[in-house]
Amino acid sequence: MDFNRENFDKLLAQNTDQQVEIRLLHEKVRYLMNKMFGRSSEKMTPDQMELAFEELREVQDALDEATEKLEGLDRKEESRRGKRKPLKERIPDDLPTERVVIIPDEVKAQPEQYKKIGEETLEELDVTPAQYFRRIIIREKYIKVDDRSAAPVIAPAPKRLIPNSYASAGLIRHIILSKYCDHMPLYRQEMTLKYRHDIEVSRKTMGNWMYLIADWLTLIYEALRTEIRQSGYMQIDETFIKYQDPKKDYCPNGYLWAYRSPAAGVLFEWFPSRAAECLDPMLGGYEGYIQTDGYAAYPSWLNRPEHQTENAAIIHAACWAHTRRNFVEVSGNSNSRKVVKLIAKLYRIETQLRDNPELDRMSHRQEHAVPVLERIKEILDREQARQLPKSSFGKAINYALDRWPELNLYLDHGTLEIDNNGVENAIRPTAIGKKNFLFFGSPNSGQTSAVIYSLVETCRKLGINPSAYLKELFDALPDMNQSEAVEWTPSRWSTAQS
């Protein structure tokens, strides 16, 4: 059989392509096996933590950092959890107190023969279950005794959150806190009222109350939007929630878009879409920084011709947490583990800044984070030519290098965070809620929840008791005009309280 060079080259090329495909398939299988049977957290696995003394410099750095930590530790703080706080520090001073005095039976029988010499106390935390009651408001009528022709006198009816309804402000607040803070769907609240308290309030009625209250709260919601836009820094993310559409025989995906300002709070917007046009209400005319993940809708919106002039002042920063995840998912590659370890150093620098707020964030990052970033960039540039573009490591490298300027923006701006985790944490309560209520009841009900979630979650992020905030807000709402609404955002309300 004669040697055919053309056929040999063709078979050789085909064999090379198959070897590449086999490598990619092996990586996909390892990735899927790790997702199905591996740890669910994003912490490094034992395999990733084995650095095997790859570089003497890295080992020395680790030893230096360990030495610094040991020298700075106080022996009383050896435990990471720390000493448990006493009961007095864990229970507020203004909590209602009930005193129960127990007298021995012998003293009760013959009190004249005993003298008190001291006492021993025991403290416990107790609770009284929620108690519903009927409030009857009586407006008495009067007429003048000496002028029977005069019109009767009666006090004006108090203004109500929901006119012609038996729902009080306290009941509305309780339903909101139960659904949007404790993640209890309306149908569960309906069952609780019926079987624990023998009260019948349908979920449809409660849903109508939520819609009417959200309409009231829209004044505060729009004031919160203005505060977040004026802060000059927004972290943006979106999460899907299914909703019922009467025109379809299934529940399609809708989206809550979240905008977080560390100083002002969080605002949610509801859209039955994930398209870039959903950014129009919040980013139109905005000037400042935005920080997002790698979703293509954000650069797509910013790069549109009609937005170029308007959004020249918008600076787009990227997220190191999303970049890190790509390298964590790479298995069996020592260089990927190096990158993960170096990113961990970047986060230790951020921990130092949080623990020492007196430090200048920008100068501290320039001094300590820049050398680490240079080492990461060196590895990525070297490995980019060696890795297959479609491999997991190749994709992680390309993701990082494509966004390298955006990933480094936080170095030059002390207000920026290293990642987008702040807004993702703000979204987390909505994720817990949707596991319980499964879907929104209609395409329009999503915005009702967006309004209420915005105020409740802003309270949580700013350390405000949402119950206390909503109580004062609901008392003021019936007499509030539009010009007063700006003073009732959670941040301004908290400032007024202090």
Question: What is d(CA 423, CA 235) in angstroms, rounded to the nearest whole number?
Answer: 6
What three-state secondary structure class fits 54?
coil
pLDDT of 291 higher than 90? yes
Which pLDDT value is given to residue 236?
A: 94
Alpha-helical (H) ranges within 231-333 are 280-283, 297-302, 305-308, 320-328
Question: What is d(CA 171, CA 205) in angstroms, rounded to the nearest whole number?
Answer: 13
350-379: average pLDDT? 91
pLDDT of 253 higher than 80? yes
253-261 and 265-271 strand pairing: antiparallel
Question: What is d(CA 363, CA 370) in angstroms, rounded to the nearest whole number?
Answer: 10
Residue 167 lies in a domain: yes
Residue 66 lies in a domain: no
Amino acid at 51: L
Q: How far is CA 394 from the centre of its chain?
A: 31
Residue 53 lies in a domain: no
- Helices and strands, counts by H and E, the chain: 20, 8
The DSSP string of 97-149 is --------HHHHH-GGG---------------------------EE--TT-TT
The DSSP string of 436-490 is HH-EESSTTHHHHHHHHHHHHHHHHHTT--HHHHHHHHHHHGGG--GGGGGGGSH
- Out of 419, 450, 477, a domain closes at 419
Range of the domain at 194: 141-219+463-497
Residue 108 lies in a domain: no
pLDDT of 39 higher than 60? no
Whether residue 443 contacts residue 242, with contact meaning beta carbons closer than 8 Å, is answered with no
- Out of 419, 439, 471, a domain closes at 419
* Residue 333 shares a structural domain with residue 407: yes
Alpha-helical (H) ranges within 115-274 are 169-176, 186-197, 203-230
- Which residues on neighbouring strands pair with residue 492, listed in sequence order? none
* Residue 208 shares a structural domain with residue 151: yes
Whether residue 55 contacts residue 337, with contact meaning beta carbons closer than 8 Å, is answered with no
- Per-state percent for the chain, helix, strand, coil, to nearest 5: 55, 10, 35
Which position has the higher pLDDT, 43 or 328? Answer: 328
- Out of 361, 384, 419, a domain closes at 419
pLDDT tens figures, 373-400: 999 999 999 988 888 878 888 888 899 9
- Which residues on neighbouring strands pair with residue 254, listed in sequence order? 241
Which pLDDT value is given to residue 70?
A: 47
Residue 186 lies in a domain: yes
* Residue 414 shares a structural domain with residue 344: yes
Question: What is d(CA 376, CA 397) in angstroms, rounded to the nearest whole number?
Answer: 10
Residue 92 lies in a domain: no
Written as six digits, the tokens of 373 are 């970033």
Which pLDDT value is given to residue 492?
A: 92
DSSP 94: T
Residue 149 lies in a domain: yes
Amino acid at 385: A
**Closest Cα partner for 314 from 295, 293, 299?**
299
Count, residues in the chain: 498
What residues contact residue 9 under an 8 Å CB cut-off, 6+ apart? none
**Closest Cα partner for 461 from 472, 451, 453?**
453
Which pLDDT value is given to residue 31?
A: 63
Question: What is d(CA 435, CA 431) in angstroms, rounded to the nearest whole number?
Answer: 7
Residue 273 region, left (φ>0) first, then alpha (ψ -120 to 50), else beta?
beta
* Residue 401 shares a structural domain with residue 344: yes
Q: Which residue has the tokens 């899927």?
A: 32
pLDDT of 359 higher than 60? yes
* Residue 414 shares a structural domain with residue 467: no
**Closest Cα partner for 31 from 316, 391, 337?**
391
* Summary mean pLDDT of the chain: 83
Q: Does the predicted model carry a pTM greater than 0.85?
A: no
* Residue 388 shares a structural domain with residue 476: no
* Residue 391 shares a structural domain with residue 479: no
Which pLDDT value is given to residue 242?
A: 86
Q: How many domains does the structure of the chain reveal?
A: 2
What three-state secondary structure class fits 317?
strand
pLDDT tens figures, 448-483: 989 999 999 999 999 999 999 999 999 999 888 888
pLDDT tens figures, 74-99: 444 444 455 677 766 777 777 888 89
Residue 492 lies in a domain: yes
